[in-house]
Amino acid sequence: MKCGIVVFPGSNCDHDVYHVLSHVLGQETTFLWHQETSLEGCELVVLPGGFSYGDYLRAGSMAAHSPIMAAVRRHAEAGGRVLGICNGFQMLLETGLLPGAMRRNRDLRFLSVDVHLRVERDDLLYCSNYRRGDVLRMPIAHAEGNYADTEEALDELERRGQVVFRYVDAAGRLEPVANLNGSERAIAGICNAGGNVLGLMPHPERCAEEMLGNRDGLGLLAGAVAAGGGRVGALAAAGG
C-alpha cells in the first residue's frame, strides 16, 4: 500500500514512521511536504508527531491550515485512511476531522513515559491485529494531550463507539492514576464515524520492533496498511 507521511516544519517523528512502514512492514512509503497540494496517490496518509510550527497558538492549529490539509480532508471524507499520531492527532482535532480539543496536561508537565492502553474496538482495520480488551504498552511524549469536549459530545462519541484506546493500568483497569494527562473519560485515541480516520496520542512507531524492547505498536501500523476494500471498519453496528 502506498503510504504518505506529511512533513511539517517541526515534525520529528516522520522518519520513525517511515522506518516502520518502509523497512519493517515493506510498504512503498514517501514523504509529502506540507506545501504540496496532492497526496500523490497515497492510500494511507500519516500525520506524524512533533511540534509543527513550534506549537504556536495551539498545538496542531497552524498545521491544520497548511496547503496539503485540503487534500487530506478530501481523502478522509472520501473514506481514505488517515492516521494522526500525537501532534498529528492534535491536527485532526484542529481540522475538525475528529471531534474534541486538547488542553494542557492536567499537571502542566510534558509527559514522556510508557503508558498502558486498552483496545476498545477491534472491528477497525487499524486494530485488526488486536482484540478488544487487549492492554498495550506504548510511549507518550506530549504536553497537550488532555482530551476535552462537552459532556454531550463525549456521550455521543461513546454511543457511536468512536473511542478506540483508553489509558488504563497494567491490568487494564480504568484508574485515575493511569490517566496521566487528565483526559476526559481516559481517552487516548478516537476514530471518526467511518472508522477511516484514527488519532491517538501514544506513539506506536516508537514501539514496533523487538530490538526496542517493545513491539506492541507494530500491530497498529500493520493494521493501517492491511488490505481491505471499502469502508475501514464500518460503524453500522453501532447504530449511529
Catalytic residue numbers read: 86, 203, 205
**Beta carbon of residue 89, minimum distance to another protein (angstroms, whole number):** 14
Each residue 129-168 as x (binds another protein by CB under 8 A) or -, in order, gives -----------------x-xxx--x---------------
* Among the residue ranges 81-89, 103-111, 202-210, 224-232, the one whose residues contact another protein (CB under 8 A): 103-111
Give the binding-site size for another protein (rule: CB under 8 A): 19
**Beta carbon of residue 133, minimum distance to another protein (angstroms, whole number):** 29
* Among the residue ranges 37-45, 55-63, 78-86, 231-239, the one whose residues contact another protein (CB under 8 A): 55-63
**Beta carbon of residue 94, minimum distance to another protein (angstroms, whole number):** 7
Q: How far apart are CA 205 and CA 207, in angstroms?
A: 6
- Binding residue for another protein, selected from 87, 105, 183, 196, defined by CB under 8 A: 105
CB 89 within 8 A of CB 100: no
- Binding residue for another protein, selected from 106, 137, 160, 185, defined by CB under 8 A: 106
CA distances from residue 54 to 72, 103, 157 in whole angstroms, order as listed: 21, 16, 30
* Among the residue ranges 53-61, 125-133, 168-176, 192-200, the one whose residues contact another protein (CB under 8 A): 53-61
CB 119 within 8 A of CB 202: no
**Beta carbon of residue 223, minimum distance to another protein (angstroms, whole number):** 29
Spatial CB neighbours of 96, under 8 Å, sequence gap ≥ 6: none
Of residues 172-191, which lie at the interface with another protein (CB under 8 A)? 182
- Binding residue for another protein, selected from 19, 73, 103, 160, defined by CB under 8 A: 103
- Binding residue for another protein, selected from 2, 73, 104, 160, defined by CB under 8 A: 104
- Binding residue for another protein, selected from 40, 67, 74, 107, defined by CB under 8 A: 107
Give me the residues that bind another protein (CB under 8 A), please. 57-58, 61, 65, 94, 100-101, 103-108, 146, 148-150, 153, 182
